[in-house]
Amino acid sequence: MSKIVTNNLNLWYGVFHALKNVDSAFEANRITAIIGPSGCGKSTLLRVFNRMNDLIEGVRTDGEVIIEDANILNSNTDLVVLRKKVGMVFQRPNPFPLSIYENIVFGEKIHGDRITRDKLDEIVERSLRDVLLWDELKDKLNEPALRLSLEQKQRLCIARLIAVKPDVLLMDEPCSTLDPQGTQRVEELMRELKNKYTIIIVTHNMQQAARVSDDTGFMLLGELIEFGKTEQIFTAPFDKRTEDYITGRYG
pLDDT in 10s for each residue of the chain, 251 residues: 789 999 999 999 999 999 999 999 999 999 999 999 999 999 999 999 999 999 899 999 999 999 989 999 999 999 989 999 999 998 889 999 999 999 999 988 776 667 888 999 999 999 999 999 999 999 999 999 999 999 999 999 999 999 999 999 999 999 888 888 888 988 999 999 999 999 999 998 899 999 999 999 999 999 999 999 999 999 999 999 999 999 887 65
Cα–chain center distance at 80: 17
pLDDT for 227 equals: 97
pLDDT for 45 equals: 97
Alpha-carbon dihedral angle through residues 94, 159, 28, 182, given to the nearest 10 degrees: 70
Q: How many of the other CB atoms lie within 10 Å of CB of 98?
A: 14
Question: Measured in Å, how far apart are the chain's first and last C-alpha atoms?
Answer: 32
d(CA 82, CA 52): 10
pLDDT for 113 equals: 67
Under DSSP, the state recorded for 186 is H
CATH of domain 2-246: 3.40.50.300
pLDDT for 1 equals: 79
pLDDT for 112 equals: 65
Is there a contact between 192 and 155 (Cβ–Cβ < 8 Å)?
no
pLDDT for 116 equals: 87
pLDDT for 109 equals: 79
